[in-house]
Amino acid sequence: MHGRVRVIPESTYDDPLVARLDQHIELSAADIALLGSVIDASVTISKRRDVVVDGYEFRKLYFIKDGFAARYRLLPNGKRQIINLLVPGDIIGVPSSFLDRANFSVTALTEMKVQACLLDAFVDLCYRHPKFGLALSWLAVEEATNYAERIVDIGRRTSIERLARFLIEMHSRLFVSGRATADGFDLPFSQEVMSDALGLSVPHLNRMFAQLRMDGLISLQDRHVKFCDIVVIQEFTHFHPRRLMRIPARRKPIIEKPEPKRPCKVRAAR
C-alpha cells in the first residue's frame, strides 16, 4: 500500500497481552510467566472472517498482535452499527465471552494475528492470583469508558466533529503501537467501515471528509491522513483523553486472615 508508515518503537512489547496489562498494573517476571502459561496458541485469522458471531457462544480471549477488526451488530433492517474498531493491542472477547451467547459479532477487517487463551483458563488464573482478576476488571472498565465516549459522539456531536474526533482518536491509538507518525497515519478502514462506526451514511461521511480538507484541518491522499496542525484539530474536537488510574498494589497482607473489622453499619440503617 502506498505511503504506509510503520515505525515499531523498540519499547513495544512483542507480547500484546503483557503490554496491555502492564499499563494497568505492575507485572513481575513471575507474573509474565503466568500469563504465558494461559496463552493457548498464536492464531492467524483471515480477512473478512467473523471471529465472534452474534448469538453464538464464544469463550475465548484474543489479544491482537497484528491486524484490524470491528465489533458490530447487524440489525433486522440490514443496517450495521460498529461498536468499536479493534487495533493491535486490543482484545477480542471482552465483553462477548462473558455472555451466554455473544450479543455482537467481531469481524476481521484485515488478516490478523492474535494470541488466544480460553476464558476459563484466565478465570482460573484470576482465582489463583487475584491481581489478574483486578486487571480483568480494569480492561472491562476501559472498554465501558470507550463505549461511553462513543455514545456521546453519536448522540450529541455534529457529524464533522465525530469524524474529526475519530481521526484524532485513531491516530493516538495507532501511535502507541508505532503505526502512526507524529502528525499522520494510514487509515486502515474503508469509508463504509468508518460510516458504520460513526452512525453516518457513506456519502455523508465522504462529504465531511471533503469539508475537513476544505477547512484545512487535514489532508488525505490514498487513505493517508495528515493533520495540518494537530493542535488546531485537537481544539476543534475538544480532545481530552482521560486515563485509567493504575491498579493499587496489594497492601501488606497482614498475616493471612484478620477480619476483625468493624461491623457493617448499613444493616442498621433503615
Which residues inside 142-161 make contact with a copy of itself, applying CB under 8 A? Answer: 142-145, 147-152, 154-157
Query: What is the rounded distance in angstroms from the CA atom of residue 102 to the CA atom of residue 124?
Result: 21
Query: What is the rounded distance in angstroms from the CA atom of residue 175 to the CA atom of residue 65?
Result: 15
Residue 32 CB, nearest approach to a copy of itself (Å): 9
Residue 200 CB, nearest approach to DNA (Å): 4
Single residue of 53, 134, 220, 228 touching a copy of itself by CB under 8 A: 134
Count CA atoms closer than 13 A to 239's CA, side-chain side. Answer: 20
Instruction: Verify binding: residue 52, a copy of itself, rule CB under 8 A.
Output: no
133-140 long-range Cβ contacts below 8 angstroms, 24+ apart: 134/25, 134/247, 135/21, 135/24, 135/25, 135/247, 138/24, 138/25, 138/244, 138/247, 139/20, 139/21, 139/24, 139/91, 139/94, 140/94, 140/95
Instruction: Verify binding: residue 9, a copy of itself, rule CB under 8 A.
Output: no
Instruction: Verify binding: residue 248, a copy of itself, rule CB under 8 A.
Output: yes
Single residue of 41, 158, 255, 261 touching DNA by CB under 7 A: 158
Single residue of 32, 118, 176, 202 touching DNA by CB under 7 A: 202
Length of the chain: 270
**What is the contact mask toward DNA in residues 208 to 237, using x (rule: CB under 7 A)?**
-xx---------x--x--------------
Residue 220 interacts with, from DNA, a copy of itself, none (CB under 5-8 Å by kind): DNA
